């Protein structure tokens, strides 16, 4: 286990499994529950690091596989590591590249020792192994790195998921053996699809290896909402109480709330930034699609309850004009708002856990989203 990485539970929720905690890393402390915006290519699209900090972001995620392809992990290491390369002095978590096995399925061949990838950039072939994933993530210098895994489809058969989960455990052992950088924490990943006994087996086998934290993978891969909750519910009882629990690739504001109540500490998802680029904005009263004609002359901010830079300075009418005109500023201002919304929501949930008011805040959260005029 990593002595430079610490996780402390500050408060347990009243009437739920929710926890308020704190992660300590070489690049600072992170209060949990925490949401990490996705900076796949070492950037949160359209924003500067200063914008991201102003939105209240404590920690971001970048992707080992994509940075391996371009510009290359060795170059980033040569230039001082990922923090210096992207001018971000707060904690970073890197995804191992395992999800790309699933998302770029037409470009790979899975073997016992790793995955043969064909680069979507230039067609070049690469054999991605647990050892290579560790080499890349250690070169990048992220505060938290994760084991290489296979993420099976939600439609995969029981037998396939069983073999896949066993392969993920095998790769987890290989990752732990290959890791040499004591400044980084290593998280194991639990798979098992939608099958309760496979989730239990994967969790227990991964915990037996021993990691600084545990990620729950294979949850947001196309299955219905109910199946997501069951997969997490069938995993958490077998994870250590004193380690952070990270749910990968989730999710909507409602999902964040519900999974925090189930005991999740860490999240990442492209949803706030990707939706911002598509003109879909999150608000205290629900979703707002800024291109709708009803906002053509609307002088109100996106959300009167929001204090982000965008809401303090710009109207819905102006934001709609920018979006319809295809202006880059539309993406930037929308992204600032959506990120701020996510950070503000998770901060309020954290405070509610600490103040034993989580049930009251949950009721208010859903009541505000009842159909009404926006």
- 95 is known as an active-site residue: yes
Residues paired with 245 in a beta bridge: 214
How far apart, in whole angstroms, are the C-alpha atoms of residue 246 and residue 187? 9
Contacting residues for 214 by C-beta, under 8 A, at least 6 apart:
187, 188, 189, 190, 203, 206, 207, 239, 240, 243, 244, 245, 246
Nearest to 254 by CA among 225, 214, 231, 219: 225
- 182 is known as an active-site residue: no
Selecting among 149, 268, 303, 344, the annotated active-site residue is 268
Buried b or exposed e, range 346-363, using 16+ CB within 10 angstroms? bbebbebbeeeebeebbe
Q: How many CB atoms lie within 10 A of CB 316?
A: 23
H/E segment holding residue 216: strand 213-216
Selecting among 95, 143, 149, 344, the annotated active-site residue is 95
SS3 content of the chain, % helix, strand, coil (to 5): 45, 20, 35
How far apart, in whole angstroms, are the C-alpha atoms of residue 366 and residue 205? 38
Nearest to 283 by CA among 373, 209, 166, 167: 373
* Active-site amino acid positions: 95, 268
């Amino acid at each position: 286990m990593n002595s430079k990485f610490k996780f402390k539970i500050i408060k347990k929720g009243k009437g739920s499994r929710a926890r308020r905690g704190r992660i300590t890393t070489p690049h600072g402390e992170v209060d949990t529950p925490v949401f990490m915006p996705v900076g796949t290519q070492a950037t949160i699209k359209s924003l500067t690091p200063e914008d991201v900090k102003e939105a209240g972001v404590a920690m971001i995620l970048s992707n080992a596989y994509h940075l391996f392809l371009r510009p290359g992990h060795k170059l980033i290491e040569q230039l001082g590591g990922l923090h210096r390369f992207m001018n971000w002095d707060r904690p970073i978590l890197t995804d191992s590249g395992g999800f790309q096995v699933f998302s770029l399925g037409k470009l790979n061949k899975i073997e016992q020792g790793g995955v043969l990838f064909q680069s979507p950039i230039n067609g070049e072939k690469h054999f991605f192994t647990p050892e290579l994933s560790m080499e890349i993530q250690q070169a990048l210098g992220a505060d938290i790195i994760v084991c290489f895994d296979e993420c099976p489809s939600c439609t995969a058969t029981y037998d396939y998921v069983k073999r896949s989960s066993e392969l993920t455990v095998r790769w987890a052992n290989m990752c732990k053996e290959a890791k040499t950088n004591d400044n980084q924490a290593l998280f194991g990943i639990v798979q098992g699809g939608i099958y309760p006994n496979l989730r239990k087996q994967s969790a227990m086998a991964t915990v037996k290896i021993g990691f600084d934290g545990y990620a729950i993978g294979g949850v947001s891969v196309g299955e219905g909402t109910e199946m997501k909750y069951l997969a997490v519910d069938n995993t958490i009882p077998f994870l250590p109480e004193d380690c952070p629990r990270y749910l990968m690739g989730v999710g909507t504001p409602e999902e964040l709330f519900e999974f925090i109540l189930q005991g999740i500490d860490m999240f990442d998802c492209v949803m706030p930034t990707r939706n911002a680029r598509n003109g879909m904005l999150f608000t205290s009263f629900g979703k707002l699609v800024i291109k709708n004609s009803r906002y053509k002359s609307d002088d109100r901010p996106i959300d009167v309850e929001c204090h982000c830079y965008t809401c303090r300075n710009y109207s819905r009418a102006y934001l709609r004009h920018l979006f319809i005109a295809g202006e880059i500023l539309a993406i930037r201002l929308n992204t600032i708002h959506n990120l701020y919304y996510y950070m503000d929501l998770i901060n309020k949930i954290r405070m509610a856990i600490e103040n034993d008011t989580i049930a009251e805040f949950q009721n208010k959260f859903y009541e505000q989203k009842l159909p009404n005029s926006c």
